[in-house]
Chains A and B, each alone.
Chain A
Amino acid sequence: MRPAVLTGEHYITGDEACAEGAMAAGCMFFGGYPITPATEVAEHMSVRLPEVGGTFIQMEDEIAAMASIIGASWAGQKSMTSTSGPGFSLMMENIGLAVCTETPCVVVNVQRAGPSTGLPTMGAQGDMMQARWGSHGHYEIIALSPSSGQEIFNQTITAFNLSEKYRVPVLLMTDEVIGHMSEKVVIPNASEIRTISRPKPKGRKDRFKLYQPAENGVAPMPSAGDGYKIHVTGLTHDERGYPVMTVEAQAEMTDRIVRKIRDNRHDIIMTDSYNLEDAEIILVSYGISARTSLAAMHMARSSGMKVGFLKLNTIWPFAEEKIAELAQRARAFITVEINYGQIHLEVMRSATGRADCHLVGHAGGTVITPEQVMAKIKEIY
């Protein structure tokens, strides 16, 4: 029997690093359905969870998988599922349920090329807008995007922490390439890993209100069996959790689930900056395309071109203030992503016409090469 935190150096795939990150974060429940290229996350969790007394269930489909992790979360456990495009589509309705019921949980999407069944074994980054708006209604959500084995491990822990802190599903948007790529992953001592658990209610149980927010806008969350009388529904509800079919209740509830993310965006949005100080052209990228961009930036710098790189670790909420600030001093942005321009449009929106915005992207099935990015840099420099 191995412990939850496998301290030491490992040479593992991104999917395995994701599973180990979940274990280190304290995940005790995984409900999922196998799908290439995310299967190895589930496979690894099916071995690891029983070792620490956790539960792994292969559900009948992804709709049920998403429902199961919501249930496990209300039973008091940190829970996760993993999938790829077609399964992500099936999960959308219940991701909305998790948003509406403010249920902490983590959903991993190891992206492959779509639409539909697409290219099951080949990568893409085409689900970024689906992550933002895939479920119906207006809401805010958190999505992260790692670009190496180590980052997958680290960001999976961060995903759980943000999810617990803000009571929102957190989407970890990886892709086939980093999911299957092997790299060195260093797992620290358990005492060095910071984990956050959801705020628990205190005080009189008979006066408890399920959705009465604390100072940071997030309500404490009891578990089933704690002794609180709770009603959890996807219908528009008041602070007690009971359905209320009025315009006022709708505004109040939506306002809460939107504001708890927007008002805390500075705590949630994480970016890395490379050579931005004097950059005339700034590459913007995430996931496997961040590796392409890093290589391209170094190529450009070595030939004397002032190119910087903004790496997005948090995709949603979007780093619009950072882009707006950079747009005042840089000449142009080049967004590098494996789709036809999803985050590119966000960069355009955030730059509000102050800098030119370009895209290096394609339909998926392979990565973008540093040479393709270099060609665009030379074209506009």
Chain B
Amino acid sequence: MQKKIIITGFGGQGVIMAGRIVGMAAALGDKLESSLVQSYGPESRGGACSVQVTIADRQIYYPYINVPDILVCMSQGGYDKYKDILTGDTILMIDQDLVRVSADHDFYAIPSTRFAEEMGLKMMANIIMIGFLAGITEAVSLDSAKDTVSKSVPSKTIEINLKAFDRGWEFAQATLKSRRKKASGNTGVV
């Protein structure tokens, strides 16, 4: 088993932290191997930012990713950079208010930034996205992901961050449920 995940966005959105939580949850919680490399520039806020996380049940030889199994886009620039290398097998996930998908492939959408604003803390969009990622892809287990979130945020904000995670997770479950309904031909319309 090997899963290659790229998360992209702006500096300041918590993209690196999101990758770190995913990688750490896999390595320490799920007892797998995991490597994380990040694009690293002099800019911090507002510039393009991405993190590459490889998760495997064996030694990881080369930590960089050519073609991701999962691509998470929290900015249009991040999507535009990678859209041409996506294959039919790549799971694409976007913040639907920030990214417009221009090519013809399937994707999973969540308004993670809007949800975070509704919860009163815009900077939790990354945690909501991790919940969504865990729910849709099962790249990391639910328990490991939640445990790592609570260990990665300031202690005063653990509760609200776990709620944010759940918001993303539940949205994923609802998304998957409606897809299953569609697949079985039952659109719910009488």
Q: Are B36 and A182 in contact (CB-based, < 8 A)? A: yes
Known contacts A292-B62, A295-B61; decide if A184 and B37 are in contact (CB<8 Å). Answer: no
Q: Are B33 and A121 in contact (CB-based, < 8 A)? A: no
Q: Are A180 and B28 in contact (CB-based, < 8 A)? A: no
Scan B22-39; emit 1 where CB is below 8 A from any A CB, else 0: 011001100001111110
Scan B93-119; emit 1 where CB is below 8 A from any A CB, else 0: 000000000000000000000000000
Q: Are B37 and A181 in contact (CB-based, < 8 A)? A: yes
Write out the residue numbers on chain A whose beta carbons fall within 8 Å of the beta carbon of B63: 177, 181, 291
The number of chain A residues with a CB under 8 A from chain B is 22
A184 vs chain B, min Cβ distance (A): 4
The DSSP consensus for interface residues of chain B is mixed
Complex Cα–Cα for A9 and B148 (A): 13
Closest to A366 in B: B64
A183 at the interface (CB under 8 A from B): yes
The residue that A367 contacts in the complex, of B33, B64, B66, with Cβ under 8 A, is: B64
Complex Cα–Cα for A13 and B68 (A): 22
Most chain A Cβ neighbours within 10 Å, of B28, B36, B62, B64: B62
Complex Cα–Cα for A120 and B40 (A): 10
Which residues of A113-146 have CB atoms within 8 Å of chain B's CB atoms? 120-122
Complex Cα–Cα for A284 and B36 (A): 25
A369 at the interface (CB under 8 A from B): yes
Which residues of A47-63 have CB atoms within 8 Å of chain B's CB atoms? none
Write out the residue numbers on chain B whose beta carbons fall within 8 Å of the beta carbon of A122: 40
B42 at the interface (CB under 8 A from A): yes
B37 vs chain A, min Cβ distance (A): 5
The residue that A11 contacts in the complex, of B28, B42, B64, with Cβ under 8 A, is: B28
B20 at the interface (CB under 8 A from A): yes
Complex Cα–Cα for A323 and B33 (A): 32
Q: Are B27 and A180 in contact (CB-based, < 8 A)? A: no
Write out the residue numbers on chain A whose beta carbons fall within 8 Å of the beta carbon of B42: 120-121
Known contacts A11-B28, A295-B62; decide if A183 and B38 are in contact (CB<8 Å). Answer: no
Write out the residue numbers on chain B whose beta carbons fall within 8 Å of the beta carbon of A354: none
Complex Cα–Cα for A11 and B53 (A): 12
Complex Cα–Cα for A298 and B36 (A): 21
B41 at the interface (CB under 8 A from A): yes
A180 vs chain B, min Cβ distance (A): 6
Scan A161-205; emit 1 where CB is below 8 A from any B CB, else 0: 000000000000000110011111000000000000000000000
A370 at the interface (CB under 8 A from B): yes
A294 at the interface (CB under 8 A from B): yes
The residue that B40 contacts in the complex, of A11, A121, A291, A292, with Cβ under 8 A, is: A121
Scan B131-142; emit 1 where CB is below 8 A from any A CB, else 0: 000000000000
Complex Cα–Cα for A369 and B33 (A): 21
Known contacts A295-B62, A298-B61, A370-B62; decide if A183 and B40 are in contact (CB<8 Å). Answer: no
Which residues of A262-318 have CB atoms within 8 Å of chain B's CB atoms? 291-292, 294-295, 298
Most chain B Cβ neighbours within 10 Å, of A176, A183, A370: A183
The residue that A121 contacts in the complex, of B35, B36, B41, B66, with Cβ under 8 A, is: B41
Complex Cα–Cα for A10 and B148 (A): 12
Q: Are B34 and A294 in contact (CB-based, < 8 A)? A: no
Known contacts A177-B37, A183-B34, A184-B33; decide if A9 and B62 are in contact (CB<8 Å). Answer: no
Q: Are B62 and A180 in contact (CB-based, < 8 A)? A: no
Write out the residue numbers on chain B whose beta carbons fall within 8 Å of the beta carbon of A120: 42
Q: Are A294 and B61 in contact (CB-based, < 8 A)? A: yes
Q: Are B62 and A291 in contact (CB-based, < 8 A)? A: yes
Q: Are A182 and B20 in contact (CB-based, < 8 A)? A: yes
Complex Cα–Cα for A342 and B24 (A): 36
The residue that B28 contacts in the complex, of A177, A184, A295, with Cβ under 8 A, is: A184
Scan B44-67; emit 1 where CB is below 8 A from any A CB, else 0: 000000000000000001111010
Known contacts A177-B37, A180-B37; decide if A11 and B23 are in contact (CB<8 Å). Answer: yes
The residue that A183 contacts in the complex, of B27, B61, B62, B64, with Cβ under 8 A, is: B27
B42 vs chain A, min Cβ distance (A): 6
Most chain B Cβ neighbours within 10 Å, of A176, A180, A182, A367: A182
Q: Are A184 and B34 in contact (CB-based, < 8 A)? A: yes
Binding site for A on B (CB under 8 A): 20, 23-24, 27-28, 33-38, 40-42, 61-64, 66
Binding site for B on A (CB under 8 A): 9-11, 37, 120-122, 176-177, 180-184, 291-292, 294-295, 298, 367, 369-370
7 additional contacts, CB 8 Å, given A9-B27, A10-B28? A11-B20, A11-B23, A181-B36, A182-B35, A292-B62, A294-B61, A298-B61
A-B pairs, top 5 by smallest CB distance, nearest first, are A295-B62, A295-B61, A11-B24, A182-B36, A184-B27
